Amino acid sequence: MNYGKLDRLDEEIDVWYGIVEPNQAAALDLRRLLSEEELARADRYRFPGLQQQFVQRRGIMRMILGNYLGLLPDELEFTQNRFGKPSLTGNLQAGGLTFSLTHSGFHMALAVGRNRALGVDLELHRDNVDHVGLSQSFFAQADVDAIQRPELPAAQLLRFYEIWTSKEAYIKAIGAGLSIPLDQFSINLDSTPASLAFACHDQVSVESETNQAEVFSGRNWHFKRLNLAPNTSSWLAFQGNTATVKTLSLDNMS
């Protein structure tokens, strides 16, 4: 399947979504696409099912990204910054392709764009989460207030997951992970469209790591709820010009 010219992604972001269950045969086949470093990471998992899922997710990611670039999956090379954010390396960076991978349970999503910071997060809802305690411990006060505003616990839990995934998408896009405390910024999910309410986190170490100071200036951030599957929350965060977001199925990637 041809995903179209790379310059299409200047105005569009593709979000690939699907269910990836552990499959020994599929994992064995996809191992040939992975680097030695990726295989070593996979083999550190104690349980075979987790090993297989890791291999399958990385193999699928390589197949998708390789198609955009017109390369074989095993020709891709990746690097990561000190916060663990992966990116294409060497000459592969010239095309400006950016991506973000997330998974929860058997759910997997991969966001792909070009010449923009982006991050995607998906979380499977779990009823036994202490959403009040966690939000009070880690979120900004504005987030806590938004979570506690609904009267019904189920509505509070849903709001918790929506805030959590939007925050995770933002810090993934920045590329600093949890080195940015979740109480140092807040996203207003009730505005139309959703917007960055405030951000007071320290940007210096992130900028020196990535050499992309403009990315972290707080300007031109966009947030989109993805609604990928029932009983999940999923958000996309991206910077730059507005973009059309297309949701694509992993079942149709070949």
- 134-190, pLDDT tens digit by residue? 999 999 999 999 999 999 999 999 999 999 999 999 999 988 777 788 998 999 999
pLDDT category at 3 given cuts 50, 70, 90 is: low
pTM of the model: 0.91
Task: Give the helix/strand (H/E) hosting 122.
Answer: strand 118-124
Sheet holding 118-124, edge to edge: 118-124, 232-239, 221-225
Residue 82 has what pLDDT? 82
- CB 212 within 8 Å of CB 168: no
164-to-16, 131, 208, 221, 252 alpha-carbon distances in Å = 21, 10, 27, 17, 29
Specify the length of the chain in residues: 254
Residue 205 has what pLDDT? 41
What is the distance, to the nearest Å, from the Cα of residue 179 to the centroid of all Cα atoms in its chain?
A: 16
End-to-end CA distance of the chain: 5
The answer to whether residue 91 scores a pLDDT higher than 90 is no
User: Taking residues 193-214, what's their average pLDDT?
Assistant: 60
Residue 8 has what pLDDT? 87
The answer to whether residue 14 scores a pLDDT higher than 80 is yes
pLDDT category at 204 given cuts 50, 70, 90 is: very low
Structure tokens at 29: 């086949």
Residue 206 has what pLDDT? 43
Residue 29 has what pLDDT? 97
Task: Tally Cβ neighbours within 10 Å of residue 249.
Answer: 10
Task: Kindly report the average pLDDT of the chain as a whole number.
Answer: 89
- 63/66 Cα distance (integer angstroms): 5
